Structure 1
Amino acid sequence: MARRKARAASAVAAVAALDDELRCGMYEFIRHARRPVARDEAAAAVGISRKLAAFHLDKLVEAGLLCARFEPVGGIRKVGRVPKVYEPTGVDVRVSIPPRRHDLLADILLDAVLTEGAQENAVQAALRVAQERGQRLGAEERARSRPGRLGAERALTSTGQVLVSYGFEPERETPTCLRLRNCPFHPLTARSPELVCGINHAFLRGFLAGLQARSVEAVLEPRPAECCVALRST
């Protein structure tokens, strides 16, 4: 969870770094160059001095959008100091409030298409893959945190802490119920609620199985503007 929070903070920092016309211009120029770009060239691209360009370029490096190294421009070594060159890091910057996980849904659907068996249809394959994916992630989380035996109270607390990082925004509604206030797959849910909610439900059932939270059950309880699933202690 800490790693995902750090990634979210990095994404926000990256977006903030681009909220400057000069930085955004240089970043776009370097991305489109498809090769290492020196400070002088980046400065000329937006019409500023080399010194000011260096300041902005280093800010883009700090934000994780560019990487920098010292290298002869064009591969030709000249007398004097080797120039600093910049390239994109390939970071995919996305910020969504509230959090969305369309990438997770897309991965599940892609895997379903690639692994659909002869005895199942597309929907059945998607539900199977969703449960398998959830179970794998739950098992990975259990191996990381080593929670031991999970009673109902601890299971709800532990599961809620983990699901924060997946964008579900869990909230303890009662001592035995954890509501998921955000649907990470919204607004796609509105296009096919039966399919997307089914995938979500299967994913969370698999996650609980992988976490070995046997005293917690994922149940379909749709509410407007919230996740269709609630977690209840059994």
Structure 2
Amino acid sequence: MDLELVGALGEPSRRELYLYVRRARRPVTRDEAAASAGISRKLAAFHLDKLVTAGLLRAEYAAPGGVRKVGRQPKVYVPADTQVQVSIPERRHEFLAGLFLEAILGQRSGEAGTEAAIRTSRERGRELGAADRAAARPGRLGAERALTFCREVLERLGFEPDRVSPTRVRLRNCPFHPLAAQAPDLVCAMNQQFVTGYLDGLEVTGVRASLDPREGECCVLLESAAASPRGT
């Protein structure tokens, strides 16, 4: 989780060591790291190993500069292929970008770009729903259980779903803001079709995803097909 990675960088010396290793663009020894931060080798080793545990650095054994020496090679550190990005509320621009790219690459003859994006969103949602159903094997899903499933996946995607009643889930955050503000009709339609596709893949028929935009929230509302008129 990105917040945990950020927590690992909260200690000033540890953050300085991490940035030093990233800037070095080569394996860094404990002695080099300690000298760069002006701390003891033991303390540097402690912080470096914490960064390895957090997944921000990788440790290996190799001689500095690639010159192999007799005996055991020193422990060195290199950056891991981990990107740290934190936004509160959560933003998922890379997910939206992936949908757009997939839509462009899979655009059909005579299909408008917006149509391709909306279709791709539904297909991606259906694939995810089918995968979750295959993994969980939930059997027949009533509306309330289906909303629970949806709430979990939408939480992971940053929509901040709020179970406002047993038959209704409102999405409190748009993870594609502020891009959604530039093309609300397109992005809201993609959101709705993604969730609708997820319901299809989950093989749910008693829940609908409808557009119900509100200021500062996502535009999609999930509710039981038998729900009473909309409230909260």
TM over 0.5: yes
C-alpha distance in 2 between matches for 1:60 and 1:192: 40
Map 1:219-234 onto structure 2 (within 5 A): 219-234=210-225
Map 1:170-189 onto structure 2 (within 5 A): 170-189=161-180
Q: What corresponds to 2:122 in structure 1?
A: 131
Give per-residue Cα distances to partners, 1:95-125, cap 9 Å, x unaligned. Answer: 2222222111010011112222221111111
1:79 is displaced (CA, Å) by 4.0
1:80 is displaced (CA, Å) by 4.7
Q: What corresponds to 1:5 in structure 2?
A: none
Q: What corresponds to 2:208 in structure 1?
A: 217
RMSD of aligned residue pairs (Cα, Å): 1.6
C-alpha distance in 1 between matches for 2:22 and 2:91: 26
Q: What corresponds to 1:69 in structure 2?
A: 60
C-alpha distance in 2 between matches for 1:190 and 1:76: 55
C-alpha distance in 1 between matches for 2:159 and 2:85: 17
1:136 is displaced (CA, Å) by 0.8
1:131 is displaced (CA, Å) by 0.8
TM-score by length of 1: 0.89
Give per-residue Cα distances to partners, 1:17-53, cap 9 Å, x unaligned. Answer: 2223322222122112222111112222223332221
Q: What corresponds to 1:197 in structure 2?
A: 188
Residue 173 of structure 1 aligns to a residue whose secondary structure is: strand
TM-score by length of 2: 0.90
Letter in 1 for 2:66: G
Q: What corresponds to 1:31 in structure 2?
A: 22
Aligned length: 225
* Percent of pairs with identical residues: 56
1:63 is displaced (CA, Å) by 1.5
C-alpha distance in 1 between matches for 2:150 and 2:110: 33
Which sits farther off after the overlay, 152-161 or 108-117? Answer: 152-161
Point out where structure 2 has 5 or more consecutive residues left out of the alignment. 226-232
C-alpha distance in 2 between matches for 1:205 and 1:60: 41
1:82 is displaced (CA, Å) by 2.2
Point out where structure 1 has 5 or more consecutive residues left out of the alignment. 1-7
Letter in 1 for 2:172: R
Residue 78 of structure 2 aligns to a residue whose secondary structure is: strand
Map 1:136-151 onto structure 2 (within 5 A): 136-151=127-142
Residue 17 of structure 2 aligns to a residue whose secondary structure is: helix
Q: What corresponds to 2:77 in structure 1?
A: 86
